[in-house]
Chains A and B, each alone.
Chain A
Amino acid sequence: MLYAVLCYDDENEVNAWSKDLDDRVMADLGAVNQRYAEAGKLGPVARLMPTTAAVTVRKGATDDIIMDGPFAETKEQFLGFFVLDVETLEEAITFARELSAVNPANGTYEVRPLQFFNPGVPIT
């Protein structure tokens, strides 16, 4: 079985970390990752940028609505994610709009850049 493990925390507090502390936490997390990667069990790992870097694509009555900031409703649940390598925010938004167009549900796509990405090892 493949599992996604999602990290939640108070961003205000993480933003108040000193660079030294941040580096230390990333190194400690990296050490745990390393063990699982060596066992062939760890796929991609990503840390997202602060929510202030996000935009959100939502279906509107006539056209898509693109809003600044993260997805903030609590009625919906986190269902999945995509990792995309493009040059500009515009391209990323275009991708999200294409997903939205073919998705019959009224869901929302948050576009959030990655701050850290490790492709991991091949897993099945």
Chain B
Amino acid sequence: MTELAWIDLALTSARPQAMGALLRYFRNLDLAEEAFQEACLRALKTWPDKGPPRDPAAWLIFVGRNSGIDQVRKRAKHQPLPPEEVLSDLEDTESDLVDRLDGAHYRDDILRLLFVCCHPDLPATQQIALALRIVSGLSVRQIAKAFLVSEAAMEQRITRAKAKVAAAGIPFETPDAVARAERLGVVAAMIYLVFNEGYSAGMPEKADTPFCAEAIRLARLLLKLFPSEPEIMGLTALILIQHSRLDARFDKDGQIVLLEDQDRTLWDRALIDEALVLIDKAIRHRTPGAFQIQAAIAALHARAATAAETDWLQIDLLYQTLERLQPSPVVRLNRAVAVSKREGPEAALALIEPLAEKLNGYFYFHGLRGGLLKQLGRYREAHEAFDRAIALATTSAEAAHIRQHLDSLQREMASAEK
């Protein structure tokens, strides 16, 4: 590994801890970010000569805090002095700092940093953008590209999100158990959004979107902070299994390969095994939740050596449980796939027809509906559904996949007419 690559890695992995601590000191996101940037610049200057510090996060916090204080003092010469509470813990000595890093501060700092990004006033896309910028340290360009907007628009979106967070006030009180559970749920949902943003990006864009790996890193980090939360185990297991199929999900030409057609030897067994252990751990708590159930469904696919061996009965039952816990048309749509395998396309179609209004703008609804209609020989209707799906496709791989369906539909229609 080159020196620069090593330093980059150390800065990336220390970022959540260092940013979390700097946010606690400065109580201001911009100031914390500037201080961290400054510390990173100094790390790039001094680490190559002096070698790596024993604890990179502690080094970055110490240097970042000092440079941040300098900044505040410089500005104070031009502006009225900021109120005392703008800064906190200024009396810390270095040894004191090291003590703190070993303690529970890490956990509270990182958690606060994640929670701040999930402020309820922020729409989901801004939460994702803010978390990837602030916690993960992705560039605005990388984030903008994944969201298919210009860099300037994304910059503006992030600036607005930060302003909203600042105006709302950053919560520095320690949450009680109920508030903490609520916040954990919100953070978990945000991490899953980050993952899905990367997962749905499609092959051509895949190489440039580190969102999935980033989501896994954040989920593991959260699980380390809250080792006994079964839903965080479920979340981590779910995205590990989904990510394990990365190499099998697209063919050489970048076309989508459906789960049932994937080469299962390409699945990453190490990720699947880790997920299965996490599910075992979660089950011990006997408090089921949406992420655990979705992880269990993904695990049933992962355990089947071939598509034909898939336990569709269990999957159907798990989807029914999920529907009770979290009723949603998308959950029903997924359940319909299991129903079509067990009872045939007619039963599945009956299950999803009532969703037509709610899911009219949803690509997968029309894709699945078209597939079921095709199986039933209702070609004209299938054609219409596939046309609708193509119109709603957001990636070229999605559109190409539906086009394949249309081609095979044409062939079936032609042979039916003979």
Contact = CB atoms under 8 A, between A and B. Distances in A.
B227 A69 contact: yes
A13 B277 contact: no
B227 A115 contact: no
A13 B280 contact: no
B217 interface: yes
Contact of A16 (B9, B277, B278, B281): B9
Interface in A30-70: 49-53, 55, 66-69
B227 A53 contact: no
Interface residues of A, number: 25
A13 B220 CA distance: 12
Contact of A53 (B1, B9, B277, B284): B277
Contact of A52 (B14, B17, B224): B224
B71 to A, nearest CB: 27
Nearest to B17: A12
B227 A49 contact: no
A21 B217 contact: no
Given A49-B273, A115-B270, A115-B274, A68 B228 contact: yes
Contacts of A16: 9, 12-13, 217
A106 interface: no
Interface string B194-237: 00000000000000000001000100110110011000010010
B10 interface: yes
Contact of B236 (A12, A52, A88, A116): A52
Contact of B9 (A13, A51, A52, A89): A13
Contact of A51 (B213, B224, B280, B281): B224
Contacts of B220: 15, 50, 52
Contacts of B9: 13, 16-17
Interface in B254-302: 270, 273-274, 277-278, 280-281, 284
A53 B281 contact: yes
A115 B281 CA distance: 16
A43 B277 CA distance: 26
Contacts of A103: none
Contact of B278 (A18, A19, A21, A52): A52
Interface string A1-38: 00000000010110111110100000000000000000
A73 interface: no
A53 B278 contact: yes
A10 B284 CA distance: 28
Contacts of A116: 270
Residue from the set A10, A12, A49, A66 with the largest chain B CB neighbour count within 10 Å: A12
Nearest to B8: A16
Contacts of B273: 49, 113, 115
B285 to A, nearest CB: 8
Contacts of A98: none
Nearest to B216: A15
A13 B52 CA distance: 13
Given A12-B13, A17-B9, A18-B213, A89 B227 contact: no
Contacts of A49: 273-274, 277
B274 A67 contact: no
B208 to A, nearest CB: 13
Most B C-beta atoms less than 10 A away, residue of A13, A67, A115: A13
Contacts of A85: none
Contacts of B236: 52
Given A50-B220, A52-B236, A69-B227, A13 B13 contact: yes
Contacts of A10: 13
A117 to B, nearest CB: 11
A90 interface: yes
B277 A89 contact: yes
Contacts of B227: 52, 67-69
Contacts of B213: 18-19
Contacts of A21: 1
Contacts of B17: 12
24 contacts: A10-B13, A12-B14, A12-B221, A13-B9, A13-B13, A15-B13, A15-B220, A16-B13, A18-B213, A21-B1, A49-B274, A49-B277, A51-B224, A52-B223, A53-B274, A68-B227, A68-B228, A68-B281, A69-B224, A89-B284, A113-B274, A115-B270, A115-B273, A115-B274
List the 6 closest pairs (A to B, CB-CB), nearest first: A69-B227, A89-B280, A13-B13, A16-B13, A68-B227, A68-B228
Interface of A: 10, 12-13, 15-19, 21, 49-53, 55, 66-69, 88-90, 113, 115-116
Interface of B: 1, 9-10, 12-14, 17, 213, 217, 220-221, 223-224, 227-228, 233, 236, 270, 273-274, 277-278, 280-281, 284
